[in-house]
Amino acid sequence: MFKSEEDVVVVAVNDESTIYDVPVEELSLPPEFDWGGATAAYQIEGGASQDGKGKSIWDTFSHLEPSRTNGENADVTCDHYNRMPEDVDLMASYGVDVYRFSIAWSRVIPLGGRNDPINEKGITFYNDLIDRLRARNIEPVITLHHWDTPQEIYDRYGGLLNTAEFRADFERYARLCFSRFGDRVNKWITFNEPYIISIFGHHTGVLAPGHSKATGYDSKTEPWRVGHTIILSHTAAIQAYATEFQPSQKGSISIVLNGHFYEPYDTASEIDKAAAQRRLEFFISWFGDPVFLGKDYPASMRAQLGSRLPEFTLEELELLRQSASVNTFYGMNHYSSKYARALPDPPADDDFTGNVEELPTNSEGVEIGPISGTSWLRVAPVGFRKLLNWVWDRYHLPIIITENGCVCPGESQMTLEQAVDDKFRIRYFGLYLDAISRAIYEDGVQVKGYYVWSLMDNYEWSAGYVPRFGITHVDYKTFVRTPKSSAFYLRETFKQRRAPTVNQ
């Protein structure tokens, strides 16, 4: 009789040889290489209406009926808002250099707008967090927008669909953060994963605010308008920081882009090779070319999308060029790789892929890598190294890995004892860190840091509490935090890998 699926995956997790047939070599990293943990406000804070916090689009989306978030919300989640000192102590015990977190815009400006009142209790919370981090020699890295736009902004004028209004409101919010926290914060991120906001929030509708053709919105144009708004809002924040705050605060600012790496489905097919490149451009260069190169959208996007893709004015292009020189690093969120196959038919009128099909298996039946505990994420460190090279060659900016991690197969069904023995995750980390080392020392790519996703198990958006990405187990009933083996692996491996001399 076959074992249950749960039993099978638990066995696999506790047998590290099943994940990948390449050994972890624990290759060296530069002595100054930073490592840290990453989180997002909505995913861990809770305190949904505590101390004057306003509603975000995720507060609304996660309470829709019927539910579009697995019947779960983040009203309390990890209760970080009330347990923050404990969490800072936890980070210190892991030996992290950096903590990347986001500010909840609606916690500091409950209604979000440039003329709306500031919530000083929200400011106090983040000031306390920053001070506690610095007291433990942990660098705070702040993300201004991690998907949780204030709901009132959408109610007033359509949120990200109104470029002029959103840009002005975001600039005021950014200035507030720079002025209140910038004396102790040296790295800023404007937006996290604009691709996800644009496509999954305003095309497929699986994330807040849930816009899609099925819900009555224009999926042909909305995602491109939203992306345009994000780019110009990023530019406004960059300009404000560079002219008013950077001279005295001496910090750096950038944006975080996510992306898979794409291999051609058929390596003998020139069409599939072109499809893989085009998919990378539609995914990454959509934002990367304007933000980091100060130029128009990629030609491949202009050719396919035509009038669906907004135009930059001459004045906006000049601002893009000016802002491109201010970006001092490339923030990369990366988890997995895929195969890209060119679709034979003309693209659908609301296509956003570049007319490309994404697949886990190639024309010869070879999988891109072993599957993790979530279907879209496969272990593919070779693709990661290739993406580091692709980004470096295109943008020539030092790269910080601002998110990377995985879910162990069957983790949500495990006992606590099984979950903390996360050999699958440890091996994933080891392979991906080896890929970084090879990119640095063999390929000449500048990679400056690695922030693991995530510091702790948390609310994973539309998937609710099922996926557990954390290096810390969280009991959502008692809020007890239990370090997983991967947390101690990372602490020790960075001690060993960041040796003063490179032995490669």
Please tell me the predicted confidence (pLDDT) of residue 233.
Answer: 98
Q: What is the mean pLDDT of residues 286-300?
A: 98
Residue 202, both tokens: 């305003």
- Whether 11 shows a pLDDT value over 70: the answer reads no
| Size (the chain), residues | 504
Dihedral of alpha carbons 178, 181, 185, 187, sign:
negative
The CATH H-level (homologous superfamily) assignment of domain 34-218+229-239+251-258 is Glycosidases (3.20.20.80)
- Whether 210 shows a pLDDT value over 80: the answer reads yes
Those residues whose C-beta lies under 8 Å from the C-beta of residue 472, and which sit 6 or more positions away, are 90, 455, 456, 457, 481, 482, 483, 484, 487
- Model pTM? 0.95
Write down the mean pLDDT value for the chain.
95
Domain definitions of the chain by residue range: 34-218+229-239+251-258
- Whether 177 shows a pLDDT value over 90: the answer reads yes
pLDDT tens for 93-114 read 999 999 999 999 999 999 999 9
pLDDT tens for 116-159 read 999 999 999 999 999 999 999 999 999 999 999 999 999 999 99
The catalytic residues are 193, 403
Q: How far is CA 70 from CA 13, 46, 61, 287, in A?
A: 25, 17, 11, 31
Q: What angle do CA 149, 395, 377 make, to 5 degrees?
A: 60
Q: Would you say 475 and 77 are in contact if contact means Cβ atoms under 8 Å apart?
A: no
In which order are the strands placed within the sheet that holds 337-342?
261-264, 337-342, 356-359
- Whether 14 shows a pLDDT value over 60: the answer reads no
Residue 30 phi/psi, 5-degree rounding, is: -60, 145
Task: Using a pLDDT cut of 90, give the percent of the chain over it.
Answer: 94
9/414 Cα distance (integer angstroms): 10
